[in-house]
Amino acid sequence: MRRYVETPQMDKILSLSKRRGLVFQSSEIYGGINATWDYGPLGVELKRNLKDLWWRSVVQQRDDVVGLDAAILMHPEVWVSSGHVAGFSDPLVECRECHQRYREDQIDATACPDCGGELTDPRQFSLMFKTFMGPVEDSANQVYLRPETAQGIFVNFGNVLTASRRKLPFGIAQIGKAFRNEITPGNFTFRTREFEQMEIEYFVKPGTDDEWLHAWLDDRFSWYTKHGIRPENLRLRRHDPDELAHYAKDTYDIEYRFPWGWGELEGVANRTDYDLRSHATPTGRDQDLTFFDEESKEHVFPYVIEPSGGVDRATLAFLLDSYDEEPDPPPKPGEEVQAKDVRVVLRLHRALAPVKVAVLPLSRNERLAPLAHQVHMLLRPHLATQYDDAQSIGRRYRRQDEIGTPYCVTVDFDSLEDKRVTLRDRDTMAQLRVPIADLPAILNDKLEHGW
């Protein structure tokens, strides 16, 4: 994979991100810090909506999954048992000429892709960030920033089982930050050293694991397409046996066609009983990490199916797939489209859109303002809204289209008389005159089912 990819599509997303406050470079006024990004006012809403959508779909709308929010800092022995201390590393090679470093498995050259220089032999480079807990900086106090949220779930298996009185199969879901000292971060928010994961560990009876792997694959694949990823930009890729992680029996990646090529959005792995067994041995707490099967009257280590997705990668994929440009108004035959006549529209799924409805008085006018504010106050308790009265109505529609606001409500002079407003749809630009009193119900319905 190349380190920096400049494509027209990425240029547009980067420019929109900065211009409209989706994503900013971290510490920008200090010159930035490599491959680290901050989500701005609209980006944070988009990312929250995405996480909420995931949480609703995998936790709240199911009977068999509960949530967890574990700490980032964990007992350092956790990472010994999980295999991360010994094995969570990537092969690093360095160019003897320009000293650029690469992940050996991400380049297919025997020479430096930048300058053609000779590369060193690979050495294993640990991806875990280390820090010290407490005031004394010595190795006895060394802890790690978690490289995945999964282990917080495994070590809490017994607590959750007892507290929530679950039977197999059941799952535990978690969203949280993870940290990996990646050798070559890049491609905007695709590969960073600090990122967010949304993970489920789904515990099943051994023997039913293959079936559940496929059930979760279907579920997770259709979650992306249902919320706006085009099916032609999504595919499943099964890991070759020699590519499988040490704990995995079978793994599929859900891949998205990024502008630079196919890349992993989410991995769905059969982790077997590796993790629970690994934590049981050093802690001597087998009973806490097994499930008592009433039928066989035996304690069994459940198998684990893990759908593990990246919040930042999914946010980027939804942004890329929703970005659209179209001539508005459509050109007459033989006429060239002027730049000012290009409408940029983010066709984000309604549930993901940072702003659900914009309230726009036709013009900044003292007769219109009170009613427009009234309409805004009617909607604001229920929905993420924006009020905008600056510049022409056409420009304001364009501003909302560009950030993916599904609906605009326009208050005009007739509204003062008939107590009706114009509702405009982002995608079709169709307009509808509706009574103000019915707006909350109409908007709820449209946000649920579409225009």
Complex with ligand ATP: residue 161 or 319, whichever CB lies closer: 319
| Residue 286 interacting with ligand ATP (CB under 6 A) | no
| Residue 313 interacting with ligand ATP (CB under 6 A) | yes
Complex with ligand ATP: residue 266 or 273, whichever CB lies closer: 266
CA dist 309 and 407 (Å) reads: 30
Complex with ligand ATP: residue 313 or 446, whichever CB lies closer: 313
CA dist 115 and 117 (Å) reads: 5
Contact indicator for 198, 224 with CB cutoff of 8 Å: no
| Residue 350 interacting with ligand ATP (CB under 6 A) | no
| Residue 310 interacting with ligand ATP (CB under 6 A) | yes
| Residue 362 interacting with ligand ATP (CB under 6 A) | no
Residue 42: other Cβ atoms inside 10 A: 22
CA dist 193 and 143 (Å) reads: 17
In the complex, least distance from residue 197 CB atom to ligand ATP, rounded to whole angstroms: 5
Residue with the two structure tokens 């940290």: 179
| Residue 192 interacting with ligand ATP (CB under 6 A) | yes
In the complex, least distance from residue 346 CB atom to ligand ATP, rounded to whole angstroms: 21
Complex with ligand ATP: residue 313 or 399, whichever CB lies closer: 313
In the complex, least distance from residue 19 CB atom to ligand ATP, rounded to whole angstroms: 23
Number of residues that bind ligand ATP (CB under 6 A): 15
Q: Which of 17, 49, 126, 197 binds ligand ATP (CB under 6 A)?
A: 197
In the complex, least distance from residue 49 CB atom to ligand ATP, rounded to whole angstroms: 18
Stretch that binds ligand ATP, among 38-46, 201-209, 259-267, 382-390 (CB under 6 A): 259-267
Amino acid at 360: L
Q: Which of 52, 64, 97, 182 binds ligand ATP (CB under 6 A)?
A: 182
Complex with ligand ATP: residue 48 or 237, whichever CB lies closer: 237
Contact indicator for 266, 254 with CB cutoff of 8 Å: yes
In the complex, least distance from residue 54 CB atom to ligand ATP, rounded to whole angstroms: 12
Stretch that binds ligand ATP, among 160-168, 188-196, 215-223, 297-305 (CB under 6 A): 188-196
Stretch that binds ligand ATP, among 137-145, 303-311, 327-335, 438-446 (CB under 6 A): 303-311
Contacts of 366 (CB under 8 A, 6+ apart): none
CA–centroid distance for 81 within its chain: 28
In the window 378-437, what residues touch ligand ATP (CB under 6 A)?
A: none
| Chain position whose Cβ is nearest to ligand ATP | 310
Complex with ligand ATP: residue 312 or 401, whichever CB lies closer: 312
In the complex, least distance from residue 357 CB atom to ligand ATP, rounded to whole angstroms: 31
| Residue 152 interacting with ligand ATP (CB under 6 A) | no
Q: Which of 45, 255, 273, 312 binds ligand ATP (CB under 6 A)?
A: 312
| Residue 219 interacting with ligand ATP (CB under 6 A) | no
Q: Which of 195, 203, 301, 303 binds ligand ATP (CB under 6 A)?
A: 195
Stretch that binds ligand ATP, among 136-144, 206-214, 270-278, 304-312 (CB under 6 A): 304-312
Could you give the string, one character per residue 71-100, with x where binding to ligand ATP holds by CB under 6 A and - elsewhere? ------------------------------
Q: In a 10 Å sphere around its CB, with 0-12 CB exposed, 13-18 middle and 19+ buried, how is residue 282 labelled?
A: exposed
Contacts of 311 (CB under 8 A, 6+ apart): 47, 50, 51, 175, 195, 196, 197, 198
Q: Which of 309, 354, 361, 404 binds ligand ATP (CB under 6 A)?
A: 309
Could you give the string, one character per residue 260-279, with x where binding to ligand ATP holds by CB under 6 A and - elsewhere? ----xxxx------------
CA dist 253 and 309 (Å) reads: 10
Please give the residue ranges that form the binding site for ligand ATP (CB under 6 A). 180, 182, 191-192, 195, 197, 264-267, 308-310, 312-313
